Amino acid sequence: MQIKYIGKNGDNSYIISGEKTAVVECMKHENAAYHIKAVEAALDGGEPDYIILDHVSPDNAGSAEALMQRYGGARIIASAAGIKNLSEMLNRDFDYILAKDDMTLELGGASLIFKILPNLPWTDSMAAYCPEERALFCGSIFNSDSGYFKNVISPYRDYAKNAADRLRELDILKIFPAYGGEITDISGVLDEYSEPEERKLSAAVFYASHYGYTREMAEAVAAEIEGCGMSTRLFDVCGTDLAELKDAIDSCTGFAVGTDTVNRNAPEDIWRLITAIDMVNGRGKPCMIFGSCGWSGEGVYLIERFLKSIGMKLFKKPLLVKFRMSGDEREKLEKLAADFAKELSGSEGE
Ligand SMILES: Cc1cc2nc3c(=O)[nH]c(=O)nc-3n(C[C@H](O)[C@H](O)[C@H](O)COP(=O)(O)O)c2cc1C
């Protein structure tokens, strides 16, 4: 048997030839002509029997239509969700085989065992293991980029751990991803996928403030929560790197957002932060809202509505003040922050 590699700028496809031949992964739409030429050259007049897609994304299936037209006898193999995705992309019938979990495809002298490993990060993701070569074809489940787990996979930690546990049972020598380079540090990558998330009780307070009134409130909130014994970080969202903000909002136990109102809206930097929240794992995270306004305070209410709509657990009603908070309003805010800190302490171990 033989594995041939086809690739252009990190966009990969593989050909596995036994008595039968399978093309594993397609290429981006802009690489379709390249893909077909490369398959033709590799098969030297032969025809593939199967086109296997470990996930059906617009990129990984980008050359599928052209390849299916060129090789009308080739049958598509993907997970059930993948077949559904492809039919939504092609909007026509096609000949396919559903890849089921642990199903073996015999190529004659070579074989592929399918592992259905969903949500990594595509809902339809699966991997195909070739025992003869100890090779795993993984679509986008793995990628050689060093930040791939943190940036792409980490919202799906439970699925990642499940995949790592299942793949550890296989004797894998190398991983061939749909994108990027070959992966040979198998235990390293599987360990990363099964590492439990470090959960430390902590709070983060974010604010945007043009004149300093909301900042004054944010400082009071942060001091109060910290005073309740909880590690608390305070961030001015304007001018702080989004990656740092995102990391803080995703890793804290709960957070407070303070915003002023400008032209009936919250400042763009506040939106930038809250639209970057990990909405997969962030659901149900406690948050409190406060801010200063001149007259109507739409910023605070819009933020409240958005955070509610993405499933955050809003702590009481937002505390909105006109211009600078009074002594009474400060007391109210401090009480709110102290109660919020208590709520967060109660979420320990959840
Ligand atoms: C250009 C501009 C537009 C504003 N638009 C609104 C508004 O639509 N609604 C409102 O309630 N306050 C509005 N304000 C008032 C501010 O929200 C108010 O001054 C607030 O106290 C500012 O808080 P900060 O010191 O945290 O920036 C506006 C202020 C400016 C300068």
- Please provide the DSSP assignment of 168-207 as one string: HTS--SEEE-SBSS-B--HHHHHHHHHPPPP---EEEEEE
Q: How far is the CA of 269 from the centre of ligand 1 (A)?
A: 15
Which pLDDT score, from 0 to 100, does residue 200 have?
Answer: 82
Q: Report whether residue 350 contacts ligand 1, using a CB cutoff of 6 Å.
A: no
- For the chain, the residue count is 350
Q: Report whether residue 323 contacts ligand 1, using a CB cutoff of 6 Å.
A: yes
The model's pLDDT over 238-291, given as tens digits with 9 standing for 90+, comes to 989 999 999 999 999 999 999 999 999 999 999 999 999 999 888 999 999 999
Q: Which pTM was predicted?
A: 0.82
Is there a common fold for 2-194 and 202-342?
no
Q: Report whether residue 262 contacts ligand 1, using a CB cutoff of 6 Å.
A: yes
Handedness of CA 182, 186, 190, 193 (dihedral sign): negative
- Ligand 1 pocket: which of 206, 237, 260 to mutate (most atoms within 8 A of CB): 260
Q: Does residue 17 contact residue 4 with C-beta atoms inside 8 Å?
A: yes
Q: Report whether residue 263 contacts ligand 1, using a CB cutoff of 6 Å.
A: yes
Q: Report whether residue 211 contacts ligand 1, using a CB cutoff of 6 Å.
A: yes
Assigned CATH for 2-194: 3.60.15.10
Q: Report whether residue 259 contacts ligand 1, using a CB cutoff of 6 Å.
A: no
Q: How far is the CA of 260 from the centre of ligand 1 (A)?
A: 6
Is the model's pLDDT at 316 over the cut of 60?
Answer: yes
- Sorted by where each begins, the domain ranges of the chain are 2-194, 202-342
Q: How far is the CA of 64 from the centre of ligand 1 (A)?
A: 53
Stronger pLDDT, 196 or 43, i.e. the higher one: 43
Mean pLDDT score across all residues of the chain: 96
* Phi and psi torsions of 334, nearest 5°: -65, -40
The model's pLDDT over 39-51, given as tens digits with 9 standing for 90+, comes to 999 999 999 999 9
CATH superfamily of 202-342: Flavodoxin domain (3.40.50.360)
Which has the minimum average pLDDT: 111-115, 276-280, 301-305?
276-280
